[in-house]
A and B are shown apart, each in its own frame.
Chain A
Amino acid sequence: MTLNIECVRIGYGDLEVIHDISLKIHRGEIVSLLGPNGSGKSTLIRATAGMHKPTSGRITVDGKSIGDISNTNLAKTISYVPQQYTSMPCTTVMEAVLIGRNPYINWMPSEEDLRIVEKALKTMHIEDLAENDVNKLSGGQKQRVYIARALCQTPNFYLFDEPTSALDLRYQLETMKIMKDVVCKDGVGMMIALHDLNLALRFSDKIAMIKDGELYAYGNSSDVINERSILDVYGIKAKITEVDGESFMLPFGSSDG
């Protein structure tokens, strides 16, 4: 099963934000989307989730255009966690995560649904918070609640828009590790928009670099992230070094200073 983005162009009114991008996300791999602010990462993710219709090209799952898949079936196929989240009034962590099962529920959740919720809470290490009010959690805890909700959708593909932005260093690593685990164990595909190039280097199977709405490079992480591409896309001088067999990116400063 493949999530296929084919020659997609996306615009808001007359303004075209994404110019002819093609990408493939296979099951069992993490594809990271990199690029500076405003390069079109979020737009591409939203379109892939079916929120925004491309002006041309198509986005397909197993050859079927996502526009032709019913809302409920799409909810069971692709799960999307936006960058900004809405505050939920008077809702406990368990209730918030349970909402991820709603595409499968007509009225009341079954024991099976509740077990999936429990597994998601445990995966994100928030089972102790199950009865707490979501609004009273820290930013990082909230983010883990929203990821747990996405896990409950038990989809084939996950789309995350900067899932680590509200997390501290430890939870950034932990969350990415959990995602890698989910991808390996459940054999799902994942597309993640990231700002942290080192997280991308370490955890992704493939990297797509976007510059001004165009695909600058796409391939294995070590092939895509190099001093040249960082300078071109971010305008930053950087050095790639190896520590204990892993690659790291060290930024020095902007190209003009």
Chain B
Amino acid sequence: MAHLFFVKERTDRMTSVVEIFKETQWKKRTLLNSLILAVFAVSILSLMVGSISVSVSDVLLAIGHSILPNHIPEPQYAAASVIIVKIRMPRILLAIIAGVSLGIAGTVMQGTLRNPLVSPFTLGLSSAAAFGAAVSIVLGSSLFGAYDLSVNIAGQVFHKTDVLRISMAFIFGMLSVVIIILMSRNKRMSQSTLILSGVVISYLFQAGIMFLKYISDNDQLREVTSWLMGGLGIADWSTVIILAPIVLLSTYLMMVCSVQFNTMSCGDEVAQNLGVDVNKLRRYSLLVVAFSVSACMSFTGVIGFIGLMAPHICRMIIGNDHRYLMPCSAVMGALILLTSDTVGRVITAPEDMPVGVIMYIIGGAFFLYLVVRGKGRGIE
């Protein structure tokens, strides 16, 4: 009997690959759906709280009224419409957009360079963008004083200083990645040399930032520092209108390559044998995510942590399948940034606390919890 029982137990345990695949699939989908739900819930909450609290019904009425003004009445609290639709909604959307962009960028960079420490920070993108912004803040009026560069987008006028700062940050952010891609054309360059070059490029730009801080006056110094800390205070519908299509398009372009990113995890030689043009894919994907991250950072300033940690947190839970890892990291990035910004808005209302302060604490604690808990798949 005992023998029979043993045999039965074994056949029960032996599940087919089809079943195992379906089960893991379910797990991955559940994480993605829960994250999306969480972002939705936090968004509603975030619309309600702040220096002025708004009730759920007023939040829904304000949104409904702005879409169908003839069918849905205005909220009871008259100012709610302005607060919800004009101020809080774009800020929440910007948090989601920037979080998605950074989450995707981190996943793609770690995947294609096969290094768990890579993020927009380590490749020098953040420092380069910050340098661009600092140049425009400190030297802008002396360099471009004579030109009128103000722009009107979706009814929002961007002043000359804004336009200059945003475009300089974007141009330099892209520049750092272009330099790295050009260097990678040198065949003797190994992966680690490439990453190390990114780190060194980052130092070069930091030297520039330090110099600019040194020669700046008080107001400029304050502005540079606040840019380096990052924040979503600039949020406006025009920001959303500019960034949403860029981030959506780059997310789509990267999602299409998911299967190839999975193949790349086997190493360059095997990936090449499996039909992936490794170098081309690496350059292409770095360029696409750099475009999207530079665009977001040029508006928000430096936002760290997400690009590095969102992919790690998700990888620990569902593994390295990029078909799910990428969307999960994207939504995880959005969730971390949105939650941190909401907490920052509330605890020091009516002032904003820099988003990084809250984010590094919440995100860091959550990551350490995952590591200490010891379940799941581990980091590598």
Chain A interfacial positions (CB closer than 8 Å to B):
46, 49-51, 70-72, 74-75, 78-82, 85-92, 94-96, 98-100, 102-103, 105-109, 111, 114-115, 117-118, 121, 127-128, 130-131, 133, 135, 146, 149, 153
Pick the contact of B274: A75, A82, A96, A106 (CB < 8 A). Answer: A75
Q: Please determine whether B275 and A90 come into contact, CB atoms closer than 8 angstroms.
A: no
Pick the contact of A106: B16, B24, B259, B270 (CB < 8 A). Answer: B259
Q: How far is the CB of B265 from chain A (nearest CB, A)?
A: 5
Pick the contact of B21: A91, A94, A99 (CB < 8 A). Answer: A94
Residues of the A chain whose Cβ atoms lie less than 8 Å from the Cβ of B272: 50-51
Pick the contact of A91: B116, B258, B265 (CB < 8 A). Answer: B265
Q: Please determine whether A90 and B315 come into contact, CB atoms closer than 8 angstroms.
A: yes
* Per-residue A-contact encoding for B14-34, CB less than 8 Å = 1, 0 else: 101110110010000000000
Q: How far is the CB of A112 from chain B (nearest CB, A)?
A: 10
Q: How many A-B residue pairs have CB under 8 A?
A: 114
Q: Please determine whether A75 and B275 come into contact, CB atoms closer than 8 angstroms.
A: yes
Binds A, one of B217-225, B318-326, B329-337, B343-351: B318-326
* Per-residue A-contact encoding for B234-264, CB less than 8 Å = 1, 0 else: 0000000000000000000000001110110
Q: Which residues in chain B, 255-306, are within 8 Å of chain A measured between CB atoms? A: 258-260, 262-263, 265-270, 272-277
The 8 closest A-B pairs by CB, nearest first: A86-B267, A75-B275, A118-B17, A71-B275, A90-B377, A80-B273, A72-B275, A90-B319
Q: Please determine whether B274 and A100 come into contact, CB atoms closer than 8 angstroms.
A: yes
Residues of the A chain whose Cβ atoms lie less than 8 Å from the Cβ of B269: 46, 49, 51, 80, 82
Q: A99–B267 Cα gap in the complex (Å)?
A: 12
Q: Please determine whether B17 and A103 come into contact, CB atoms closer than 8 angstroms.
A: no
**Given known A82-B270, A89-B380, A105-B259, contact A131–B265 (CB-CB < 8 A):** no
Q: A133–B263 Cα gap in the complex (Å)?
A: 17
Minimal Cβ-Cβ distance residue in A for B272 = A51
Say if the beta carbon of B316 comes within 8 Å of chain A.
yes
Residues of the A chain whose Cβ atoms lie less than 8 Å from the Cβ of B24: 92, 94-95
Say if the beta carbon of B114 comes within 8 Å of chain A.
yes
Chain B interface residue number, banded: 35 or more
Minimal Cβ-Cβ distance residue in A for B16 = A118
Residues of the A chain whose Cβ atoms lie less than 8 Å from the Cβ of B321: 95
Chain B interfacial positions (CB closer than 8 Å to A):
14, 16-18, 20-21, 24, 114, 116, 258-260, 262-263, 265-270, 272-277, 315-316, 319-321, 323, 377-380
Pick the contact of A115: B14, B17, B315 (CB < 8 A). Answer: B17
Q: How far is the CB of A148 from chain B (nearest CB, A)?
A: 11
Q: Please determine whether A133 and B16 come into contact, CB atoms closer than 8 angstroms.
A: no
Q: A135–B323 Cα gap in the complex (Å)?
A: 21
Beyond A89-B379, A96-B266, list 20 extra A-B contacts (CB 8 Å). Answer: A49-B273, A50-B272, A50-B273, A51-B269, A75-B274, A80-B269, A85-B267, A86-B267, A87-B380, A88-B265, A90-B316, A91-B320, A95-B319, A99-B265, A99-B266, A99-B274, A103-B274, A114-B21, A127-B14, A153-B274
Could you name 7 residue pairs across A and B whose Cβ atoms are closer than 8 Å?
Answer: A51-B273, A75-B274, A86-B114, A89-B116, A90-B316, A121-B17, A135-B378
Q: How far is the CB of A79 from chain B (nearest CB, A)?
A: 7
Q: Please determine whether A135 and B380 come into contact, CB atoms closer than 8 angstroms.
A: yes
Pick the contact of A92: B265, B270, B315, B319 (CB < 8 A). Answer: B319
Q: How far is the CB of B328 from chain A (nearest CB, A)?
A: 12
Minimal Cβ-Cβ distance residue in B for A128 = B14
Minimal Cβ-Cβ distance residue in A for B21 = A114
Q: A80–B116 Cα gap in the complex (Å)?
A: 26
Pick the contact of B18: A108, A114, A135 (CB < 8 A). Answer: A114
Q: How far is the CB of A158 from chain B (nearest CB, A)?
A: 11
Residues of the B chain whose Cβ atoms lie less than 8 Å from the Cβ of A115: 17-18
**Given known A99-B262, A118-B16, A118-B18, contact A91–B319 (CB-CB < 8 A):** yes
Pick the contact of A111: B14, B18, B260 (CB < 8 A). Answer: B18
Q: How far is the CB of A208 from chain B (nearest CB, A)?
A: 21
Minimal Cβ-Cβ distance residue in B for A121 = B17
Residues of the B chain whose Cβ atoms lie less than 8 Å from the Cβ of A88: 265-266, 320
Q: Please determine whether A71 and B259 come into contact, CB atoms closer than 8 angstroms.
A: no
Q: Please determine whether A94 and B20 come into contact, CB atoms closer than 8 angstroms.
A: yes
Q: Please determine whether B16 and A86 come into contact, CB atoms closer than 8 angstroms.
A: no
Q: Please determine whether A90 and B320 come into contact, CB atoms closer than 8 angstroms.
A: yes
Residues of the A chain whose Cβ atoms lie less than 8 Å from the Cβ of B14: 127-128
Q: Please determine whether B266 and A89 come into contact, CB atoms closer than 8 angstroms.
A: no
Minimal Cβ-Cβ distance residue in B for A76 = B275
Q: Please determine whether B270 and A86 come into contact, CB atoms closer than 8 angstroms.
A: yes
Interface centre among A80, A88, A149 (most CB of B within 10 A): A88
Pick the contact of B323: A75, A78, A107 (CB < 8 A). Answer: A107
Interface centre among B265, B268, B276 (most CB of A within 10 A): B265
**Given known A51-B269, A78-B273, A80-B273, contact A99–B263 (CB-CB < 8 A):** yes
Q: How far is the CB of A38 from chain B (nearest CB, A)?
A: 19
Q: A235–B275 Cα gap in the complex (Å)?
A: 40
Q: How far is the CB of A73 from chain B (nearest CB, A)?
A: 8
Minimal Cβ-Cβ distance residue in B for A106 = B259
Q: A135–B379 Cα gap in the complex (Å)?
A: 11
Minimal Cβ-Cβ distance residue in A for B380 = A89
Residues of the B chain whose Cβ atoms lie less than 8 Å from the Cβ of A114: 17-18, 21
